[in-house]
Amino acid sequence: MTRFCLVRHGQTAWNLEGRYQGQSDIPLNAAGLEQARELARTLQNVRFDAVYSSDLVRALETANTIIALHDHLQVHVDPRLREINQGEWEGVQIEEIRAHYAHLWQARQVDPVNLRPPGGETVGEVFQRMHSALDEIARLFQGGNVLVVSHGLALATILCFTQGFPIGQAYQHIPDNSVPNWISWQSPAQPG
């Protein structure tokens, strides 16, 4: 069993503006940097065996701020921990998406797991890559504590999975910025 401390990156300007960030590489704003520093102080006495982060700058800034108080750690970057690719919806405010893509927005309400924004990926695909990444990390750090810094929807798929909610409810379970969410993860069986 591995204990994961799942953290969504700190706040960005696009969070405040209600824009879908997806895989756009948006940095933390001043509030997001302060959130990361506060979380670093909260976690400074927790012993982590490893730290993994998405390769997007907002996650990396958060992870690097946290490990600044942990001398023995370095950040391992894994692109599978990225946010959902929102395709044409990236950088667009939610109200605009609802207005200009009304049929797709309605379809997402019916089948949130399999709806693909134009040029993007599905929630189901995000879950599969996140699950694969956590399985691999858990195999490497069985019995350990691992910090994972990722993104709202990506983490929500894992939180739904571990808490027994349908993956399709991920949009309702997006964690707050820079708040730790601890989960236990059963390592997959080792290949024989």
Q: Which of 17, 70, 76, 83 is catalytic?
A: 83
- Pick the catalytic residue from 9, 61, 121, 151: 9
Residue 131 falls in the annotated catalytic set? no
In 3D, which of 99, 78, 113, 95 has the Cα closest to residue 20?
95
> Does the active-site annotation cover 70?
no
| Sign of the alpha-carbon dihedral angle for 70, 30, 181, 159 | negative
CB-count burial class (<10 Å; 0-12, 13-18, 19+) for 77: middle
What are residue 146's DSSP bridge partners? Answer: 4, 50
Q: Which residues are marked as active site?
A: 9, 83
